[in-house]
Amino acid sequence: MSGASASGGWIGATPHRVEDETLLRGRGRFIDDLSPVPGAMHLALVRSPFAHARIRGIDTSAAAASPGTLAVLTGADLAATGRPLGAVIRGATEHHAVAVDVARYAGEPVAVVVARDRYLAEDAAELVDVDYEPLEALVDPLAAAEAGRVVSDRSFRYGDPEAAFAAAHALVRGRFPFGRWIAAPVECFGVIADWDHAADSLTVWANFQGPFTLHTVAAGALGLPAARLRLVTPPDSGGSFGVKAGVFGYIVLAGLTSKICGVPVRWIEDRVEHLAASGSATHRVTDVEAAFAADGELLALRYDVIEDVGAYLRAPEPATLYRMHGSLTGAYAVHNVAVRNRVVHTNRCPTGLNRGFGGPQLYLALERIMERGAARLGLDPVEVARRNLVPPEAFPYRTPTGGLYDSGDYAACLDDAIEAVDYEGLRRRQAERRAGGDDRLRLGIGLACVVEPSISNMGYISLAETAEERARGWPKSGNAEGATLAMNPLGGVTVRLSTVPQGQGHRTVAAQVAADVLGLSPADVEVQSEMDTHVNAWTVSSGNYSSRFAGIGAAAVAEAAAQLARKLRRIAGDVLECAPADVELVDGQARVVGQPDRGVSLRRLAGAAHWNPESLPAGLEPGLAVTAFVSAPNLDPPNDADEVASSAAHGFVVDVAVVEVDIATGEVRILDYVTVHDAGTLLHPRLVDGQILGSFAHGLGPALLEQTVHDDDGNLLTGSFMDYLCATSTEVADLRILHRCTPSPFTPLGAKGLGEGNTMSAPAALANAVCDALGLDGPDLPLTAPRVWEALAGAGGREGS
């Protein structure tokens, strides 16, 4: 369980997590455990009960007189001192932290109560009298497109799709809606804000997760130069899966409230608020058309996508739509693609990051259409997939949309998966059951082959604008990360990360990486993961998203450690009277290569650097602290042909789901589920499997149970955990995980991100399996028992009727 890996290094080993003991003892420090400033007042928010309403007036007098209440602020009060939240696309509906004049989704903040404690604040919030004039609400994305509430409408063409469609042997098309679902970390949002009037600056503690592009957006809305917004994250965060990027709007809300009231304030979101207003994945409706040759070759794809981002285009949206742009062809070597992307406003909560981020929606459409194509051609879906997979000799492989796939052996992964489930045997069993008498329990097999991009190119979002529009602004690209590493006078090492972990174990892995480079044990390396924008080394792309830690976050640690190691070798070379290149760092020693007896302890070298800088080799800068930045290669801004390498690394995932559907009840039981991953070098295989298990559960949720549902008037029907059905231990199936390893040539450690792949693949694999079992195209996700049964009933297959 602990100890170095077989190769002798710490990378690839599976030490216990350094995070665990504190958390297991209940000594974690989450946002609501902190009291960083004395006297913080508590906030409660008044939220719109209507999905769309004009705010004719707000009477705050009764609330202001409520016991323990310091102030009651309206959207107008905040707008008078702040600015709107900046959006990625010009022309999006103006968005304030608290609604001004019009509320555009049920749950939107319309007033802020500041009181001595949360109980009293909620009492006062009930007394805020808002005069609403309800307006017509738009809920359905298709209706929104028809009504012209389109924020962005872009068409793309790669290769020659028209010719390919004209020459096709078979055309298949389908519409695949993917409804809203939420990340629902068990810890909700929290913000503590302290405006310093003397310095005209704001310090905020928040369980924000990045990206720190949103620090810039928040500073703008607060009317502050970025250097006067100090954002600190707590040592621990209770999960995020993307959604805590959305905390930035509340940083603005709490910051302005603190400024106006002249007191520090504290807002801890409750679960009802979270379900209504924190943010969900987009609701996407994808019409997809695929052209096939008779032998199963995929000739062309055409997508027509309508993406509901909710009432406002909250940054970084419409990123959900463009995150996968370089991977629109998935794992398949197809050269002709046509795309139309429309982003629409509805009267629902603004959307945002959610694990998988655009992948689940894309792959549901792509993998379902591949399965339909196989059915149309009378071929086995596995054969059709194999016929089209990008071949191993093609890497690095440039996709038609501009993606650059780094490495992989997709067919080998598919073979592993097929063998693991005994695919042939399953098909035989399926045929036998179909031939047999009792057909109440139907067997289905579903395949999904997905390319899992990681380390997002900050530039892909600008695809929402045309090349001409982009030319007017600054080009954006890359994905840089920094880390700071220092050696203290006794030879111990501290690392400071800007990757804002939310449970992934970054501190454990960073210690492994630094230990390997410096010839230490992870126990010698103390890692801090609190982000403090006044202290840490960060860039706008810092943070915890797009599975970027293994590929780029850990690489920044490795680079900082390598720079420190170079310095230590120079000092050691001087002491040992050899060339620095002949010094190796092993077991806490600097030794002459090949002469294990000639060495000096790092402790002694560190002591010299700290206590006796005069002894350092001439020209060597004193001090043993290094800050290093790395950026993933190949991530250029989109070119004039709208091609973009939207991510730096690309893992590969093959899922095979085996299900049994009880057609009398519609229940879907997962009999077997195998996933084969190629995520390059695995830095800590146990943490890798943990990410895969969590990612699978996160995809199984919207596949089988989870959906955020609004009625036609925009009222939220899934406003509590009684109605929003998070997958629990009795619903999440056992997962069998297999690995292959093709290191990435593009990341310093050869590692690829892997925390999102199964969230992308599981909905597609499960949908394919259920459709295979039923011989039907529906129903839409989630595949709950009642919905499956209704789909059968609609198809005339209802039992006993």
Q: Hey, which residues between 167 and 206 contact other proteins (CB under 8 A)?
A: 183-188
- Tell the smallest beta-carbon distance from residue 643 to other proteins (Å): 36
When the beta carbons of 26 and 378 are compared against other proteins, the nearer one is: 26
The full DSSP string for 494-543 is EEEE-S--SSS-HHHHHHHHHHHHHT--GGGEEEE---BTTTS---TT-S
- Tell the smallest beta-carbon distance from residue 345 to other proteins (Å): 24
Site string for other proteins, 691-720 (x = CB under 8 A): --xxxxxx------x---x-------xx-x
Q: Distance (Å, rounded) from C-alpha 594 to C-alpha 600?
A: 14
Token pair, residue 677, equals 């991953």
Strand 190-196 to strand 201-206: parallel, antiparallel, or no bridges (unpaired)? antiparallel
The closest alpha carbon to 114, from 98, 100, 103, belongs to 98
* Helices 359-377 + 757-774 axis angle, to 10: 30
- Tell the smallest beta-carbon distance from residue 734 to other proteins (Å): 7
When the beta carbons of 77 and 236 are compared against other proteins, the nearer one is: 236
The H-or-E segment that residue 345 falls in is: none
* Span near other proteins by CB under 8 A; candidates 235-243, 328-336, 480-488, 547-555: 235-243
Q: Which of 28, 392, 607, 743 binds other proteins (CB under 8 A)?
A: 28
- Tell the smallest beta-carbon distance from residue 118 to other proteins (Å): 6
Helix, strand or coil, per DSSP, at residue 22: helix
Q: Which amino acid is at 770?
A: V
Token pair, residue 81, equals 């001192």
When the beta carbons of 498 and 695 are compared against other proteins, the nearer one is: 695
- Tell the smallest beta-carbon distance from residue 460 to other proteins (Å): 27
- Tell the smallest beta-carbon distance from residue 503 to other proteins (Å): 3
Taking phi over 0 as left and psi of -120 to 50 as alpha, with beta for the rest, 750 belongs to: left
- Tell the smallest beta-carbon distance from residue 22 to other proteins (Å): 8
- Tell the smallest beta-carbon distance from residue 38 to other proteins (Å): 15
* Span near other proteins by CB under 8 A; candidates 234-242, 292-300, 478-486, 542-550: 234-242
- Tell the smallest beta-carbon distance from residue 92 to other proteins (Å): 30
Residues 641-680 that bind other proteins (CB under 8 A): 664-666
When the beta carbons of 236 and 516 are compared against other proteins, the nearer one is: 236
Token pair, residue 523, equals 């126990």
Q: Distance (Å, rounded) from C-alpha 340 to C-alpha 337?
A: 10
Q: Which of 3, 33, 54, 471 binds other proteins (CB under 8 A)?
A: 33
Q: Which of 6, 24, 198, 199 binds other proteins (CB under 8 A)?
A: 24
When the beta carbons of 360 and 482 are compared against other proteins, the nearer one is: 360
Residues 64-103 that bind other proteins (CB under 8 A): 67-68
The closest alpha carbon to 112, from 94, 131, 98, 129, belongs to 98
When the beta carbons of 2 and 466 are compared against other proteins, the nearer one is: 2
When the beta carbons of 202 and 554 are compared against other proteins, the nearer one is: 554
Query: Is 387 near other proteins (CB under 8 A)?
Result: no
Residue 431 φ/ψ, nearest 5 degrees: -65, -40
Residues 106-125 that bind other proteins (CB under 8 A): 117-120, 122-123
Residues 263-282 that bind other proteins (CB under 8 A): 270-272
- Tell the smallest beta-carbon distance from residue 759 to other proteins (Å): 11
Q: Distance (Å, rounded) from C-alpha 32 to C-alpha 192?
A: 9
When the beta carbons of 94 and 270 are compared against other proteins, the nearer one is: 270
* Span near other proteins by CB under 8 A; candidates 15-23, 90-98, 258-266, 486-494: 15-23
When the beta carbons of 197 and 801 are compared against other proteins, the nearer one is: 801
Query: Is 790 near other proteins (CB under 8 A)?
Result: yes
Cis-peptide into 318, omega within 30 deg: yes
The closest alpha carbon to 677, from 445, 436, 352, 454, belongs to 454
Strand order across the 493-497 sheet: 525-528, 493-497, 480-487, 625-631
Q: Distance (Å, rounded) from C-alpha 109 to C-alpha 369?
A: 41
The full DSSP string for 554-606 is HHHHHHHHHHHHHHHHHHHHHHHTS-GGGEEEETTEEEETTEEEEEEEHHHHH
Query: Is 352 near other proteins (CB under 8 A)?
Result: no
- Tell the smallest beta-carbon distance from residue 197 to other proteins (Å): 28
Helix, strand or coil, per DSSP, at residue 710: strand
- Tell the smallest beta-carbon distance from residue 729 to other proteins (Å): 4
Buried b or exposed e, range 186-220, using 16+ CB within 10 angstroms: ebbbbbbbbbeeeeebbbbbbbbbbbbbbbbbbbb
Size of the site for other proteins (CB under 8 A): 82
Q: Which of 690, 743, 778, 797 binds other proteins (CB under 8 A)?
A: 690
Residues 295-314 that bind other proteins (CB under 8 A): none
Residues 718-777 that bind other proteins (CB under 8 A): 718, 720-723, 725-732, 734-735
Query: Is 27 near other proteins (CB under 8 A)?
Result: yes
- Tell the smallest beta-carbon distance from residue 177 to other proteins (Å): 17
When the beta carbons of 212 and 673 are compared against other proteins, the nearer one is: 673
When the beta carbons of 33 and 94 are compared against other proteins, the nearer one is: 33
Q: Distance (Å, rounded) from C-alpha 790 to C-alpha 784?
A: 10
Q: Which of 194, 236, 416, 574 binds other proteins (CB under 8 A)?
A: 236
The closest alpha carbon to 84, from 226, 242, 221, 274, belongs to 221
Which contacts (CB < 8 Å, 24+ apart) does range 601-606 have? 601/491, 602/487, 602/491, 602/518, 602/519, 602/520, 602/568, 603/490, 603/491, 604/491, 604/575, 605/491, 605/568, 605/571, 605/572, 605/575, 606/487, 606/488, 606/489, 606/490, 606/491
Site string for other proteins, 471-510 (x = CB under 8 A): -------------------------------xxxx-----
The burial class, CB within 10 Å (0-12 / 13-18 / 19+), for 734 is exposed
When the beta carbons of 298 and 770 are compared against other proteins, the nearer one is: 770
Token pair, residue 380, equals 């086995």
